[in-house]
Chains A and B, each alone.
Chain A
Amino acid sequence: MKKAKEGWKELEDGGRIIVAGNSVLYKTGDWRTNRPVWDESKCTQCMICWLTCPDSSIPAKDKKRIETDFDHCKGCGICAEVCPVKCIKMKPETDFQ
């Protein structure tokens, strides 16, 4: 079960957030209307998408990009735009429901 949200007496004054690095807790994946579909077989691992993703939603492992983090990807499409070999295609989320 999800923890109940704090009451007003438990909150910091002024709406301050005093815990660093917590943006990962805020899942923005459901904002997405188009999903980047990555074709790994065509990918050259140039890492331009990893570099340009504004939400750091393309994780890397052992110097290679892996599948998009769909909990945080907002579907902006920059990765598809910058990909030099066009191995990322934006597809409507409705195709996946």
Chain B
Amino acid sequence: MNTQELKKAQALSGAEAVAHAMRQIDPDVVPAYPITPQTDIMHAFAKFVSDGKVTGELICVESEHSAMSACVGASGAGARVMTATSANGLALMWEIVYIAASLRLPIVMSVVNRALSGPINIHCDHSDSMGCRDSGWMQMYAENNQEAYEQTIFSMKFAERAKIPIMTCMDGFITSHAVEPVILFDDAKVKAFIGDYRGDWPLLDVDKPVTMGPLDLFDYYFEHKRKQSEGIYLAKNIFNEVAEEFDRTFGTKIDVVEKYFFDDADTVIVAMSSTCGTAKVTIDKMRKEGKKVGLLKIRLFRPFPSWELRQILKGKKIVAVLDRSESFGAFGGPLFTEIRSAMYEEKGPKIVNYIFGLGGREIDAGMIERVFTEIDAYKTNEIKEYVKYLGVRG
């Protein structure tokens, strides 16, 4: 942000910024249940409801299972629906999360990333949304407050056009509670960009009767799942269409990935969310020292941009993938396995994994620099350990 832009900015936490996006979207129905650190979103949104700034219905349900159930009911009825959750709240929604995706209901859910129990912990890691990576929901990850705000608006249109629900994720506390300058778009512009919503087969349209969620056994279930798979695969094209419209309307680019000092870098870190901010600061410092280091930030995790990443990463020598969640018993974290798999047919680069930041464990510039230094040595040295743990006491 330059000085001119800063004058237009407001001091908002990530949660407040997302609540403003919700105010501007003004969804028909918002079923929600409080959970740290998501609560700040609904706290701010509930104020907008009480102050008459929005016209939609906020339903205070008795659990997250009910919240997602109400989302499915309302979205099935033809309403525009949003909600938000974190960690164990998302875990309690689990059953209905899959149902929302398989019914192709375009619900937008802010996931404020927080560690799953146990032991109980309220701070940031990605174990909650990463656990949902096979649920059929799309997923995007925001680096900072501004991105969390923009991504919420983008997601609404993206979900409705793709007819697939989306989790728009930001880091718990780090992004949701930290206050940063945020530039809000003009209310009318957001309304115009989002447009009106009418589902294809709303249950409330009695002239167009429809059955949703019937019993589907061995004779049709597989075909329906195959169709669902194609739907989320094709959503990548829809992402690009919506990104173009977003850029035209707001003058802001949203891409599946962001490159930072990337093209001439031979030593690269791949990461998501707020850690990318820390990596950028580190890269600025190391670039001044003449080191060719760079960052690839992943915005869109589902559908996973495998083909694009293969083209982007193929010339690199060494890549460290940073995962803020553990996949117990697997060969590395979720982002690492996706990227290794995407790159399998290519000769390079060498790819290693760092699991970091579980339960809100600090990740600082010094640690990122250590990763760059360590992987730089792999250009010549043999890699003995592909999956490492960054910032854990030995």
Residue positions of A touching B, CB distance < 8 A: 5-9, 11, 13-18, 20
Contact = CB atoms under 8 A, between A and B. Distances in A.
A11 B104 CA distance: 13
Contacts of B216: 15
Nearest to A17: B211
A14 B211 contact: no
B175 to A, nearest CB: 32
Interface string B208-239: 11111110100110111011101100000000
Interface residues of B, number: 25
B152 to A, nearest CB: 24
B219 A16 contact: no
Contact of B224 (A11, A18, A20): A11
A11 B163 contact: no
B220 to A, nearest CB: 7
A24 B228 CA distance: 27
A7 B222 CA distance: 10
B104 A8 contact: no
A13 B104 contact: yes
Contacts of B331: none
Interface of B: 102-105, 163, 200-201, 208-214, 216, 219-220, 222-224, 226-228, 230-231
A7 B223 contact: yes
B189 to A, nearest CB: 31
Given A7-B223, A8-B224, A11-B224, A18 B210 contact: yes
6 contacts: A11-B224, A13-B227, A14-B104, A15-B212, A16-B211, A17-B210
Contacts, number: 50
A18 B201 contact: yes
B201 A11 contact: no
Contact of A20 (B105, B209, B223): B209
Nearest to A13: B104
B231 A13 contact: yes
B219 A5 contact: yes
B119 to A, nearest CB: 38
A69 B220 CA distance: 26
Tell me what chain B mostly uses at the interface: helix, strand, loop, or mixed: loop
Q: Give the most central of B105, B219, B224: most A CB within 10 Å.
A: B224
B227 A8 contact: yes
Contacts of B209: 18, 20
Given A16-B201, A18-B201, A11 B210 contact: no
Nearest to B100: A14
Given A14-B102, A15-B103, A18-B210, 14 more contacts: A5-B219, A8-B224, A8-B230, A9-B227, A11-B220, A11-B223, A11-B224, A11-B227, A14-B103, A15-B213, A15-B216, A16-B103, A17-B210, A18-B211
A20 B209 CA distance: 6
Given A5-B220, A6-B223, A8-B226, A13 B163 contact: yes
A8 B222 CA distance: 8
Contacts of A17: 210-211, 214
A15 B227 CA distance: 9
A8 B201 CA distance: 19
Contacts of B222: 8
Contacts of B226: 8
A6 to B, nearest CB: 7
A15 B220 contact: yes
Contacts of B230: 8
A22 to B, nearest CB: 8
A5 B228 CA distance: 18
B214 A15 contact: yes
A18 B208 CA distance: 8
Contacts of B103: 14-16
A8 B227 CA distance: 6
B105 to A, nearest CB: 8
A14 B212 contact: yes
A14 B224 CA distance: 7
Given A9-B227, A11-B220, A16 B210 contact: yes
The 3 closest A-B CB pairs, nearest first, are A8-B223, A17-B211, A14-B104
Nearest to B225: A8
Contacts of A20: 209
B96 to A, nearest CB: 14
B214 to A, nearest CB: 6
B219 A15 contact: no
